[in-house]
Chains A and B, each alone.
Chain A
């Protein structure tokens, strides 16, 4: 097939820039020389078979991997031109700028209200009017306000799975991050709750940079502007989702998304 497009495109307005990023768990190398830029205020999906390094890569962006014994990283990830692996970087501040939503929703055993403002309390913000405003704004943004506004002080553990996941998104939004990382946020949800989260991701697009790991090809094609395909720790292809899902440049991408392997 004649395809003259670049397998890994360049991005003009990037918020995250990975350069020659390699990651080792002890002797085992999990990421190989990954270089690409993630566009600001867009949704970027990371796809690839299990164990290809998707989650490892996004966990680098807010240094969630730091606590793993024997972990070693070479290369860099720049967030607005600053290498996040510099010793001088404040990891707490980095994680405020780069929020995360996990595969399994993980609300704290506190009220809905306290869940949303948890990050603000840690930052020492306790003024009730500010907290009230943040709770309403974040829950509205996460499309959960109408469902919980009358029970804000009830336990978050009484919410449905889909509501819990939206609460986690509200909690991430509450500290005004620039980037939201999502690691398979819908994998434990039913189709209706999944649709809620997908609508929310589209709605947040343009205001936040969202980087989402998903095993669901249709989800990646529905919600993302750009798609990166990783295979065995290497970045194989990165480009506009519309192109990757209609005319992929690399045969490995083609074979993976059409279900011929992986």
Chain B
């Protein structure tokens, strides 16, 4: 443990960013696994979760040491509090990437078991969710690194696009299942994937709100308009 609070905070920032990079890879791989129905890649996402969990524990320990040994105030305090919350959100995003990967494995098995193996039909709106959520995550890390509150505000607004895409996907999947009964078996897993991506976007939004607090000392979480 360094004796200088600023070195300790720099070190915490590096550890948090490394965790962010690993989680970003988890999101990317889980989405790629959905697109390509790749069970091997899905299994890799699940295997990486233990690494994310270990990193989360390390970051939390860093935060607790800084709080106990340095009693940070002002921007340092806001940084450590944000790091603690962001750490938890990142770990949950990692869990959601695993759940998406799990659904890929289930879909893959369901397609193999089907009497007449069919292509799984994914509505186009899934791409909107995938692209938007990945961009939100990338921007969230950028807002954190570059201390860019305006970017963090914009990320919060993008969450509505993801929510809307999920509602559209639900309607389209139900329509597909009605017109093509062979697709019905895939419906629960596809809905779970949409829900997983939507919840990832929610956690990114929470993190962006925490970044706004870190930079501006303003709690925007329950504000109607931010």
Chain A interface residues toward B at CB < 8 A: 1-3, 217-218, 221, 245-248, 253-254, 257-260
Q: Is B75 an interface residue (CB 8 A)?
A: yes
Task: Contact check, B77 vs A246: say whether CB atoms are below 8 A apart.
Answer: yes
Closest 9 CB pairs of A and B: A247-B217, A245-B73, A258-B76, A257-B73, A254-B74, A258-B74, A218-B71, A248-B74, A257-B74
How large, as a class, is the contact surface on chain B?
Answer: 10 to 19
Within 8 A of A (CB), among B118-171: 149
Q: How far is the CA of A22 from the CA of B139 in the complex (A)?
A: 50
The one of B5, B72, B217 in contact with A3, judged by C-beta atoms closer than 8 angstroms, is: B217
| B contact patch SS | helix
Q: How far is the CA of A260 from the CA of B75 in the complex (A)?
A: 11
Q: How far is the CA of A260 from the CA of B76 in the complex (A)?
A: 11
Q: How far is the CA of A16 from the CA of B63 in the complex (A)?
A: 41
**A234 → chain B closest CB, angstroms:** 19
Q: How far is the CA of A149 from the CA of B77 in the complex (A)?
A: 44
Task: Contact check, A1 vs B5: say whether CB atoms are below 8 A apart.
Answer: no
By a CB distance below 8 angstroms, the chain B residues around A1 are: 215-217
Q: How far is the CA of A253 from the CA of B73 in the complex (A)?
A: 11
Q: Is B13 an interface residue (CB 8 A)?
A: no
> In the complex, what residue of chain B is closest to A260 when comparing beta carbons?
B6
Report B88-116 CB contacts with A as 1/0, cut-off 8 Å: 00000000000000000000000000000
> In the complex, what residue of chain A is closest to B79 when comparing beta carbons?
A258
Task: Contact check, A258 vs B216: say whether CB atoms are below 8 A apart.
Answer: no
| A contact patch SS | loop
**B40 → chain A closest CB, angstroms:** 47
Q: Is B78 an interface residue (CB 8 A)?
A: yes
Task: Contact check, A258 vs B75: say whether CB atoms are below 8 A apart.
Answer: yes
Report B1-14 CB contacts with A as 1/0, cut-off 8 Å: 00001100000000
By a CB distance below 8 angstroms, the chain A residues around B216 are: 1-3, 247
Q: How far is the CA of A246 from the CA of B73 in the complex (A)?
A: 6
Provide 22 A-B residue pairs closer than 8 Å at the C-beta atoms, listed in order of the A residue. Answer: A1-B215, A1-B216, A2-B149, A217-B71, A217-B73, A218-B71, A245-B73, A245-B77, A246-B73, A246-B74, A246-B77, A247-B74, A248-B74, A254-B75, A257-B73, A257-B74, A258-B5, A258-B75, A258-B76, A259-B5, A259-B6, A260-B6
Task: Contact check, A246 vs B215: say whether CB atoms are below 8 A apart.
Answer: no
